[in-house]
Structure 1
Amino acid sequence: MKNFWNNYLDSYRGLSRATWILALVMFVNQSGSMVLPFLGVYMTASLGFSLKSAGIVLSCFGVGSILGSFVGGWLTDKFGSFKIQTMSLFFSIPFYLILPFFKSFESLCIAILFLSFVKEIFRPANSASVSYYAKPENLTRAFSLNRMALNLGYSIGPAIGGFLAAVSYDFLFYTNAVMSFSAGLVFFFYFRSKKGNHSEKNALNRIQEIPKEKKQTAYNDKKFILFSVCVALYAFCFFQILNTLPLFYKNVALLDEKNVGILMAFNGIIVFTLEMALVHFTEKKFTLSTNLIIGCIFCGLSYFVLLPSHAVWVLYFSMFLICISEILVMPFSSTVAVNRSNPVNRGSYMGLNAISFAIAHVASPFVGTQIADRFGFNTLWTLNIIIILMASTGFYWIMKKM
């Protein structure tokens, strides 16, 4: 037990103050992100959408994410991470405020697409910012701290969101706007004159001095593109947690909104509690490839245990397994992207990494709801297991090449 706590405390040592403030911004912003986990439930329970229509709207969020990740990566390389993060945080506020007024299928598709576009511009800029302010030897732990803050916010957001949704779904959108504004204020006033480990501006101005092979973007890197395909396959299965799993909890396991929120909050609590220590331990004991493969296996197991039963304890055990999977895959996939890039093209690498997840945001709800509607959730869980095996094999092969 003493060794565990020493390891846990060691995982936090050496991280810069700027890294902690970035984590604080992520926590405040994510604490308000209670719309997406309840969006499918909101559309089916409150607006009367069919499962198929809800899946299409959720896929529009993914389309916006793809566009936002691509544009965000390009803008980050061109203008720097500070301006892009500030713009995303403040420009998303009006979209949250007007979202409750869109009730029809077509209007909600358009509104969700634009909201996710503005929101997802933030991600590649934020990832580039983490690598900009973190010490090289603490890079993976810096990403983990950022994700830990994200998950702490994610544990609070859905839990509160479940109670707000029980009163009115409109409160979800307004709370998102308030938290995005608060995160924007913290970020702007701390980082407006903050310098990192290297001059971002100088790096952007020294393009002509960098050898040609170092200027390539992620979109010219064939090995990294294949790696990103594996990330997208994994993310397709993982993102069931944001769309089909809440519908499964509501419609099959017969949980009400409050208990769905508590179960979703359990994910954030587990990741918040274990991520830093587990990442600190596994990055010393295993290779990047091994961590990614083990993480994939845990994701597959999380769906395997749902096949025979949907008792409440099984739902929590499944969520625990997917938490461990998330801890092992998410930060290490970002580390691969940073290690593969340099300050000039980092935005494109972080952008492509975000696009991999954004593509899954499109495919996961659309394909997932279609299969669940036609063939049942057990068929969907079986498909997830098969895709996870493909992702694990792909990670093993491409990491040897990289």
Structure 2
Amino acid sequence: MTIFRQTYAQIKLFPSVFWILITAVFINQLGNAAFVFLVLYLTKHLHFSVMQATYCFAISGVSMFLTGLLGGTLIDRFGSVRMMVNILILNGITLICFPLLQHFYSVFMMCIVWGCIFGLYRPAGQTFVSLLAPLGFLKIAFTVYRLALNLGMSIGPAIAGYLALHSFPAIFRMNGLSNILAAIILFVGFKNSSWMNYTPTLEHQFEFSLKWLKRDALLRWFILGLIPTQMVFFQHETTLAVFLARDLHFSSGFYGLLFTVNTLMIVFLELPLNVAMLSWRARNSLFWGSFFITLGFLGFYFAYLKWHIILLTMCWTIGEMILFPATSTYISDLSPEGRRGSYMSIYSASSNMGIFFGPLVGGIIMEQFSSHALWLSCGLWGMMTLMIFAYMPMLPRKAV
């Protein structure tokens, strides 16, 4: 119990600027629901076809991915907090204006703008967390950051769901206003600090962050191992809902219950779990996090009762709680001095690849073959990750 007391005592001593960031992240996440409701908004409010709505959703993800390849240089050059303020203001204006557009091509173009802007937010935020974290508490800092994200996500979509009953455009306005409010919190909190007047330690030319994959073998190992398990993990936002409704005939309310189970576990268990794992090597956390995610989704092959689904959801949630703080910590520890934004952008781009290709390939497998073929495929993708992480070279220094 000593390690828990010491860690929680240390968390209370985290610098005040860290808690300003966490507050802004939470406020932003409270309203961050427009992307979740985008397809519903386009099909039910604007009466787009499902294919048109899918194109708009997909182009947003592709834009986020492409922005990530270039955005790291911007973060390294101008500083993460300055980038966050500007991104949130621009994204807020974009979303407030979004409901003004009614025609497919104008909405499609706005989705490109939206994706390009917001694709920089998460790598900038994660870069700033890594810079503010006290020495030796990097993983704990990322766990607190994820706690703020998940608390916000447990409330924001619920508010948006209520707004959707009365006005779909109000969801976008709420999202935009929460972006701007978060930007104001960051600006006021950091306006007199050195973080807002950031000066890079290195000369930065505008270049694709992708070049670091050519130079850093450990980074290549990491990204190569991460993408398959990301493809597995993001089935929970798409094909899992179809499997539950079409194959098992469970209600959408039960699908929503799984997110409640997931969020409650993260809110109450992720921090103590990662405190208990502080002494773990990074490779062990990456391996076992991926293992539980793979086991959870492969297990759907055998599931047919509600308690099976809940138990498997708890399984992949354990994997999520282990894996994602470890990945952020690993990439922070791996990045060279002055290049953390570039490395975080590559990490974010790999996540966006999982978000895009996982549901796309999963949907094709489910449609052309069966749900059981999809869950077997998830097992194979997960095994690829486990093999890579099992034999991945160790970091030259320990990620904590």
TM-score, normalised on structure 1?
0.85
Deviation for aligned residue 1:249: 4.9
Which residue in the other structure is 2:292 paired with?
A: 298
Alignment partner of 2:340 out of 340, 346, 355: 346
Which residue in the other structure is 1:274 paired with?
A: 269
> Structure 1, residues 251-295: CA drift from partner, whole Å, max 9, x if none?
5566666665454343223212111111111122x2111111111
Tell me which moved more, 10-19 or 133-142: 10-19
Which runs of structure 2 are paired with 1:34-53 in the superposition (5 Å)?
Answer: 34-40=33-39, 47=47, 49-50=49-50
Matched-pair contact (CA < 8 Å) for 1:153–1:268: no
Aligned-partner Cα distance in 1 for 2:365–2:106:
25
Aligned-partner Cα distance in 2 for 1:19–1:268:
23
Which residue in the other structure is 1:174 paired with?
A: 173
Letter in 2 for 1:362: F
Aligned-partner Cα distance in 1 for 2:246–2:116:
30
Matched-pair contact (CA < 8 Å) for 2:68–2:345: yes
Change (3 A) 1:183 1:241: farther
Change (3 A) 1:144 1:293: same
> Structure 1, residues 70-101: CA drift from partner, whole Å, max 9, x if none?
23211011111122111111111133234345
Letter in 2 for 1:99: F
Change (3 A) 1:327 1:86: same
Change (3 A) 1:129 1:15: same
Aligned-partner Cα distance in 2 for 1:54–1:308:
33
CA RMSD of aligned residues (A): 3.1
Give the structure with the higher percent helix: 1
Which residue in the other structure is 1:128 paired with?
A: 127
Tell me which moved more, 56-65 or 383-392: 56-65
Which residue in the other structure is 1:242 paired with?
A: 237
1:73 aligns with 2:72: yes
Matched pairs, number: 389
Which residue in the other structure is 1:213 paired with?
A: none
Aligned-partner Cα distance in 1 for 2:92–2:318:
32
Q: Secondary structure at the match of 2:36?
A: helix
Letter in 2 for 1:325: G
Tell me which moved more, 33-42 or 170-179: 33-42
Aligned-partner Cα distance in 2 for 1:369–1:53:
17
Letter in 2 for 1:34: A
Letter in 1 for 2:361: V
Which residue in the other structure is 1:97 paired with?
A: 96
Letter in 2 for 1:235: Q
> Structure 1, residues 217-251: CA drift from partner, whole Å, max 9, x if none?
45521321221121122211112233333454555
Deviation for aligned residue 1:357: 0.6
**What runs of 5+ residues in structure 1 fail to find an aligned partner?**
209-215
Aligned-partner Cα distance in 2 for 1:55–1:248:
19
Aligned-partner Cα distance in 2 for 1:6–1:334:
24
Which residue in the other structure is 1:212 paired with?
A: none
1:327 aligns with 2:321: yes
Matched-pair contact (CA < 8 Å) for 1:58–1:366: no
Alignment partner of 2:310 out of 316, 319, 326: 316
Aligned-partner Cα distance in 2 for 1:102–1:378:
41
Q: Secondary structure at the match of 2:145?
A: helix
Aligned-partner Cα distance in 2 for 1:261–1:192:
41
Which residue in the other structure is 1:384 paired with?
A: 378
Change (3 A) 1:262 1:17: farther
Which runs of structure 2 are paired with 1:179-258 in the superposition (5 Å)?
Answer: 179-195=178-194, 201=198, 204-206=200-202, 217=212, 219-249=214-244
**What runs of 5+ residues in structure 2 fail to find an aligned partner?**
205-210
Aligned-partner Cα distance in 2 for 1:206–1:8:
34
Aligned-partner Cα distance in 1 for 2:96–2:192:
30
Aligned-partner Cα distance in 2 for 1:295–1:200:
38
Task: Among all aligned residue pairs of Structure 1 and Structure 2, give the percentage whose two residues are the same amino acid.
Answer: 25
Matched-pair contact (CA < 8 Å) for 2:248–2:304: yes
1:287 aligns with 2:281: yes
Aligned-partner Cα distance in 2 for 1:253–1:194:
55
Deviation for aligned residue 1:106: 5.1
Q: Secondary structure at the match of 2:302?
A: coil
Which residue in the other structure is 2:207 paired with?
A: none
Matched-pair contact (CA < 8 Å) for 2:334–2:395: no
Tell me which moved more, 247-256 or 69-78: 247-256
Matched-pair contact (CA < 8 Å) for 1:160–1:261: no
1:27 aligns with 2:22: no
Aligned-partner Cα distance in 2 for 1:283–1:192:
34
Tell me which moved more, 286-295 or 12-21: 12-21
Aligned-partner Cα distance in 2 for 1:87–1:178:
14
Alignment partner of 2:356 out of 354, 362, 377: 362
TM-score, normalised on structure 2?
0.85
Tell me which moved more, 134-143 or 261-270: 261-270
Aligned-partner Cα distance in 2 for 1:105–1:243:
23
